[in-house]
C-alpha cells in the first residue's frame, strides 16, 4: 500500500500514543494465526484485520450454519445457506473491508500431524477454539517453539483470557494441569451472549497488538488469567506471571499432546455431531454426488459436499474429513462414513 493511503487508513490508530507510526508499521509486518473462526475467532479476525495486521492465517475445520449468525460477526445468511467453510467466508468478508492485508485460509482441523505446517512462521497464535484438547495442543506447540499465544474462551455470559509468553509467564498447563472434568458448560448447553464474545475478543486482540509491536513493557502486558461475567457484572483475576514449578509442559517439557498420545481419530464437535478424521483421501465431489444421489439429497460447492439421509446430515470436505450431524455415537458415525464414503 502506498504511504499516503496507508497513513490515511490507519490515521486514527496512529494518533493513539501507544501505537504511533512505527507501531502501525510493525502491525503491518505481523503474522498472526487464528485457530478456530467461530464466535471468538471471527471477532478476533475482524478486529485485527481492521487494525492492519499484515498477515492473518485463519484455520478452521467447520462450516457456517444459521445458528452461528447471532454471535459470529464475519458471517451472513448467504454463507450459512451455502454451508461455506468458516475460514473461506471470513477471508471474503475481510477482503471487502481491507484488501491490503493477506488472509491465508486453512480449512483443516489442527492435529499433531499438521500443527507444525499450520503454525510455522507465525508471530502470535490466537485461540478461537471450542475445546481443551486443541488448546493443550496449541500450548504444547507454543511452549516448545517459544511462540506467544493467547487463550480465550466464552460461554453463557462468561469470558476468560490468558496471555502465554513461553519461558516468562505461566502456560495453560500451569493453570489447568488436567482437562476440566465433570459437566463442562458449552454454548450448546448454556447458550452464549455475543457481548461476552466481543469483550473477550477485544481484550485478546489488544494484547496481540501489543505483542506484535514489540517494545511493550512487562507492565503493559497482562500477566493474569482474567475472567468476567457481563451479566452478573463480576470480574476476577488469577496471578499467572510466573511458570508453575514442575509444570508438565513448560517445566518438564513433556509435550504429550504434541506427540498425539491417546488422541482419537474421531472427535466430538459438540453439537449433536461427530467429526471423523480420515487418512488423507482426495474426494471428487462430482463423482461422490453421483454415488450418493440414490441414497438421499446431495449438493456441493467447491468447498464442501452436503448429504442428507434422515435423520442424519453429512458434511464432507475435499480431504476426506467429515462432520456427521444427528448423532453423538461414534460407532454410528463410523458406520455411516464407511457405508457412504468408504472404509
| Domains of the chain (ranges, CATH numbers) | 3-259 (3.40.50.720), 266-340 (3.30.310)
CB 14 within 8 A of CB 24: yes
pLDDT at 188 over 80: no
| Mean pLDDT to the nearest integer, 6-20 | 92
Distance between CA atoms of 343 and 340, rounded to whole angstroms? Answer: 9
Indicate the DSSP class of residue 65.
-
Which pLDDT belongs to residue 87?
Answer: 97
Higher-confidence position of 179 and 307: 307
- Which whole-number Å values give the CA distances from 325 to 22, 173, 332, 333, 338, in the listed order? 49, 32, 11, 9, 15
Higher-confidence position of 267 and 165: 165
pLDDT at 191 over 90: no
Identify the weakest region by mean pLDDT among 11-15, 190-194, 315-319.
190-194
- The sign of the dihedral angle between the CA atoms of 337, 339, 341, 343 is positive
Which pLDDT belongs to residue 186?
Answer: 62
Number of H helices, E strands in the chain: 14, 14
pLDDT at 85 over 70: yes
pTM for this predicted structure: 0.91
- Which whole-number Å values give the CA distances from 85 to 35, 54, 80, 91, 292, in the listed order? 14, 22, 9, 10, 21
Q: Which residue has the cell 488469567?
A: 225
What confidence tier does 64 reach under pLDDT thresholds 50, 70, 90?
very high
Helix/strand/coil for 170: coil
CA 211 from chain centre, in angstroms, equals 19
What mean pLDDT, rounded, does the chain reach?
91
Which pLDDT belongs to residue 183?
Answer: 46
Which pLDDT belongs to residue 20?
Answer: 93
Residues paired with 298 in a beta bridge: 307
Which pLDDT belongs to residue 270?
Answer: 61
pLDDT at 279 over 80: no
Which pLDDT belongs to residue 178?
Answer: 83
pLDDT at 334 over 70: yes
Amino acid at each position: 500500500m502506498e504511504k499516503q493511503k496507508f497513513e490515511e487508513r490507519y490515521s486514527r490508530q496512529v494518533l493513539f500514543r501507544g501505537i504511533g507510526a512505527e507501531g502501525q508499521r510493525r502491525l503491518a509486518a505481523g503474522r498472526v494465526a487464528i485457530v478456530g473462526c467461530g464466535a471468538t475467532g471471527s471477532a478476533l479476525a475482524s478486529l485485527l484485520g481492521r487494525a492492519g495486521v499484515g498477515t492473518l492465517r485463519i484455520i478452521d475445520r467447520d462450516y457456517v450454519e444459521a445458528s452461528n449468525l447471532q454471535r459470529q460477526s464475519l458471517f451472513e445468511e448467504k454463507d450459512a445457506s451455502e454451508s461455506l467453510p468458516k475460514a473461506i467466508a471470513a477471508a471474503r468478508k475481510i477482503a471487502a473491508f481491507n484488501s491490503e492485508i493477506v488472509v491465508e485460509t486453512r480449512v483443516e482441523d489442527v492435529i499433531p500431524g499438521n500443527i507444525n505446517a499450520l503454525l510455522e512462521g507465525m508471530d502470535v497464535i490466537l485461540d478461537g477454539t471450542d475445546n481443551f484438547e486443541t488448546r493443550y495442543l496449541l500450548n504444547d506447540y507454543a511452549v516448545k517453539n517459544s511462540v506467544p499465544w493467547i487463550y480465550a474462551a466464552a460461554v453463557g455470559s462468561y469470558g476468560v483470557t490468558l496471555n502465554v509468553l513461553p519461558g516468562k509467564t505461566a502456560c495453560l498447563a500451569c493453570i489447568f494441569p488436567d482437562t476440566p472434568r465433570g459437566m463442562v458448560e458449552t454454548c450448546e448447553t448454556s447458550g452464549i451472549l455475543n457481548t461476552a464474545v466481543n469483550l473477550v475478543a477485544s481484550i485478546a486482540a489488544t494484547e496481540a497488538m501489543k505483542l506484535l509491536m514489540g517494545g511493550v513493557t512487562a507492565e503493559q502486558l497482562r500477566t493474569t488469567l482474567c475472567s468476567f461475567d457481563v451479566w452478573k457484572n463480576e470480574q476476577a483475576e488469577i496471578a499467572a506471571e510466573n511458570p508453575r514449578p514442575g509444570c508438565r509442559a513448560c517445566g518438564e517439557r513433556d509435550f504429550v499432546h504434541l506427540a498425539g498420545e491417546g488422541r482419537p481419530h474421531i472427535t466430538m464437535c459438540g453439537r449433536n455431531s461427530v467429526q471423523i478424521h480420515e487418512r488423507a483421501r482426495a474426494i471428487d465431489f462430482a463423482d461422490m454426488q453421483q454415488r450418493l444421489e440414490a441414497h438421499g439429497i446431495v449438493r456441493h460447492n467447491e468447498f464442501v459436499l452436503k448429504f442428507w439421509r434422515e435423520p442424519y446430515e453429512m458434511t464432507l470436505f475435499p480431504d476426506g474429513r467429515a462432520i456427521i450431524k444427528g448423532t453423538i455415537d461414534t460407532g454410528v458415525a463410523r458406520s455411516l462414513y464407511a457405508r457412504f464414503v468408504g472404509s
